Amino acid sequence: MSRWQTPQRIWLTGATSGIGEAVAKKLLDEGHQVVLSARSADKLDALCANHTNAIALPLDISDRNAVLAAGETIRERLGALDLVLLNAGTCEYVDMPDFDMALIERVLTPNLYGTLYGVEAALPLLRAARKEGRPARLAATSSASAYLPLPRAEAYGASKAAVSYFLQSLRLDLHQEGIGVSLIHPGFVKTPLTERNDFPMPMRVSVDHAAEAILNGLAKGRLDIHFPRRFTYLVKLLGILPPGLRHAIGLRMARSQGEHA
């Protein structure tokens, strides 16, 4: 049974791995018309197999022209979009004393600019849904790390904090158009990306838990979808502590240089 009263026209990026794959499968099973994007055409084809309501649209979100062309393809196929979930992204951590600018660009480009390219391509399609008299919602996956500066997260945390700030501002400017904007701030989720992490991940949840939280939150129009809440409320609390105390706690989490993997 769908969480929405009527089938939705949806665009989901980062659809072939982790949270995105779990969300994609649920949306397809609920009968929505779903455009699925990821870099791997083969994985997209496998995900879309036996689903007449799936449209595979391979895409590198770091390529602005490709993202805009994808938006035009969606317009030709569906005419409009009721929901856009910009979920694609990556994660790498900075290990001082090496200030690896190439690493920082590898993270910032897809996470921040890739998301903004998606916003640029999606807005005309969401506006088209509003002209049809339908609700429209834009959503993006940020991270609980956007709430609090963390050691080694200079690139990842900054990219996600920028996404959160941008979309919260955009939410204010889109309000009069009737386009909702939701942000997703996951804690640790068991995915191929987090499997590479070399540090403890407290309260880590399954991709199914994450997908359920995201879809329930989107269907209810929540502005901030965060989970698991025991973890994310703690991170939010730490984020509003006085700077000196927050700094001291951050130092306790930081590694010495000799501990780098």
What is the per-residue pLDDT across 56-77, written as a single tens digit (0 to 9) for each?
Answer: 999 999 999 999 999 999 999 9
Average pLDDT over residues 219-225: 97
Mean pLDDT over the full length of the chain: 93
Average pLDDT over residues 15-22: 95
> Residue 165: how many CA atoms within 13 Å on its side-chain side?
10
Average pLDDT over residues 213-228: 97
User: Domains of the chain: which residue ranges?
Assistant: 9-259
φ, ψ for residue 93, nearest 5 deg: -110, 145
Q: Which CATH class is domain 9-259?
A: alpha beta
Residues with Cβ within 8 Å of residue 240, at least 6 apart in sequence: none
CB distance 184 to 225 below 8 Å:
yes
Average pLDDT over residues 149-153: 91
Is residue 256's pLDDT more than 70? no
DSSP H/E element including 173: helix 154-174
Residue-wise over 190-202: b if at least 16 C-beta within 10 A, else e?
bbeeeeeeeeeee
Is residue 195's pLDDT more than 80? no
Is residue 248's pLDDT more than 80? yes
- pLDDT at site 193: 73
Q: pLDDT class for 1, splitting at 50, 70, 90?
A: low
- The DSSP symbol for 6 reads S
d(CA 186, CA 180): 19
What is the per-residue pLDDT across 24-43, written as a single tens digit (0 to 9) for each?
Answer: 999 999 999 999 999 999 99
Is residue 10's pLDDT more than 50? yes
Is residue 245's pLDDT more than 60? yes
Is residue 257's pLDDT more than 60? no
pTM, entire model: 0.91
Percent of the chain scored above 90 by pLDDT?
85
